[in-house]
């Protein structure tokens, strides 16, 4: 399968590398890592075993890749305004677009640009960070959940999941991608938000009982808002406790938004905070703590 990776950060490079190792025809659109990857390929340092790809097809412009079977979008959501420019040259007759981006609103943005029937929603539960150019550190997890955005038919999802699974990526199909997105928000909103605001890793937050309790309260606000969104089944309140225990095992982990702030980049506050707040407010659900956290992040952001 000819696949273009748009947004070759810690997520795009990691999944792209696994797909290439598994025999797929992968084309990376690169910016920061172009020189390093063109010269030396990719190095993945993974809890599942390190591996190298000495030769990688890297590009500076999508035009040089041309139409593909699948566009894998891993772009930071604050860069969504360049999606038209980056993705248009990759679109052919049967091209599908899978977005693994954070937060809400990404399928909608892509659907407006390229038509809803091409769009597949995806949620990645992945702990990875970029290292030196051409290097990715995979620290934990990695499951992808994919679901249709407008189409009812699951055949292409099954085909895609089978390709991913053959390449060693745990990929599952859901008939409620919206629920998967909200489930990820239950983790993303407190941990990305608080770590970025306080410039601390997840373990430091979890070690203080008041802060742990604040995280739980934020998660419960998100769960309550999620459960007004016409999900197939509600998210149980117990999911908050599960996520706390899951995160206890992550150790000294830096969520992506903390790294974005440390490196002077924008933070994904619109997709991860403002869009969910809007979705909640539209259905009459207030999220006081989530809103306060969004406001504080915007106040310290670049």
**Rg of the chain, C-alpha, whole Å:** 19
Residue (of 121, 89, 91, 118) closest to 106 by Cα position: 121
The residues, ordered by sequence, that sit 6+ positions from 221 with a Cβ below 8 Å of its Cβ are 287, 288, 289, 290
CB of 126 to a copy of itself, least distance (A): 26
Cβ proximity to a copy of itself: between 151 and 198 the closer is: 198
Cβ proximity to a copy of itself: between 207 and 236 the closer is: 207
78 vs 276: CA distance, rounded Å:
15
Residue (of 190, 152, 181) closest to 279 by Cα position: 181
Residues near a copy of itself, by CB under 8 A:
194, 197-198, 200, 204-205, 208, 210-211, 213-214, 217, 288-289, 291-296, 298-300
Cβ proximity to a copy of itself: between 283 and 286 the closer is: 286
Cβ proximity to a copy of itself: between 275 and 289 the closer is: 289
Q: Which residue has the tokens 């706390």?
A: 244
Answer yes or no: are the C-beta atoms of 139 and 129 closer than 8 Å. Answer: yes
Task: Please report, for residues 68, 98, 227, 279, the alpha-carbon distance to residue 116 in angstroms, rounded to integers and kept in the order given.
Answer: 17, 11, 25, 20
CB of 284 to a copy of itself, least distance (A): 18
Q: Which residue has the tokens 């406001």?
A: 295
Neighbours of 77 (CB within 10 A): 24
Cβ proximity to a copy of itself: between 121 and 193 the closer is: 193
CB of 298 to a copy of itself, least distance (A): 6
Which one of the listed residues 178, 179, 184, 254 is annotated catalytic?
Answer: 184
> DSSP letters of 226-239?
HTTS--SSPPPTHH
CB of 86 to a copy of itself, least distance (A): 30
- Would you call 184 a catalytic residue per the annotation? yes
Answer yes or no: are the C-beta atoms of 147 and 179 closer than 8 Å. Answer: no
CB of 181 to a copy of itself, least distance (A): 24
Cβ proximity to a copy of itself: between 232 and 299 the closer is: 299
3-state helix, strand, coil in the chain (%, to 5): 50, 20, 30
6 vs 50: CA distance, rounded Å:
23
CB of 292 to a copy of itself, least distance (A): 5
Enumerate the active-site residues. Answer: 184
């Amino acid at each position: 399968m000819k696949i273009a990776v748009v947004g070759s950060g810690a997520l795009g490079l990691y999944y792209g590398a696994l797909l290439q190792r598994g025999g797929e025809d992968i084309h990376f659109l690169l910016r920061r890592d172009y020189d390093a990857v063109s010269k030396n390929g990719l190095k993945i340092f993974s809890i599942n075993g390190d591996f190298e790809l000495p030769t990688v097809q890297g590009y500076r412009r999508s035009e040089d890749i041309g139409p593909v079977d699948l566009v894998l979008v891993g772009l930071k959501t604050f860069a969504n305004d360049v999606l038209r420019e980056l993705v248009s040259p990759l679109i052919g007759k049967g091209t599908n677009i899978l977005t693994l981006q954070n937060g809400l609103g990404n399928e909608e943005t892509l659907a407006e640009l390229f038509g809803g029937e091409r769009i597949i929603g995806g949620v990645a539960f992945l702990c990875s960070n970029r290292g030196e150019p051409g290097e990715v550190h995979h620290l934990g997890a990695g499951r992808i959940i994919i679901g249709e955005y407008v189409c009812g038919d699951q055949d292409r999802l099954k085909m895609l999941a089978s390709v991913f699974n053959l390449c060693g990526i745990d990929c599952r199909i859901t008939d409620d991608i919206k629920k998967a997105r909200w489930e990820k928000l239950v983790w993303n909103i407190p941990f990305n938000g608080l770590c970025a605001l306080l410039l601390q890793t997840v373990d430091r937050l979890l070690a203080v009982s008041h802060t742990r309790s604040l995280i739980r309260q934020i998660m419960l606000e998100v769960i309550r808002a999620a459960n007004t969104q016409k999900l197939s089944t509600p998210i149980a309140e117990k999911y908050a406790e599960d996520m706390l225990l899951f995160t206890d095992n992550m150790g000294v982990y830096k969520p992506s938004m903390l790294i974005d702030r440390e490196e002077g980049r924008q933070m994904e506050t619109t997709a991860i905070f403002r869009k969910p707040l809007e979705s909640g407010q539209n259905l009459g659900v207030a999220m006081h703590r989530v809103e306060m956290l969004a406001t504080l992040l915007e106040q310290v952001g670049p």
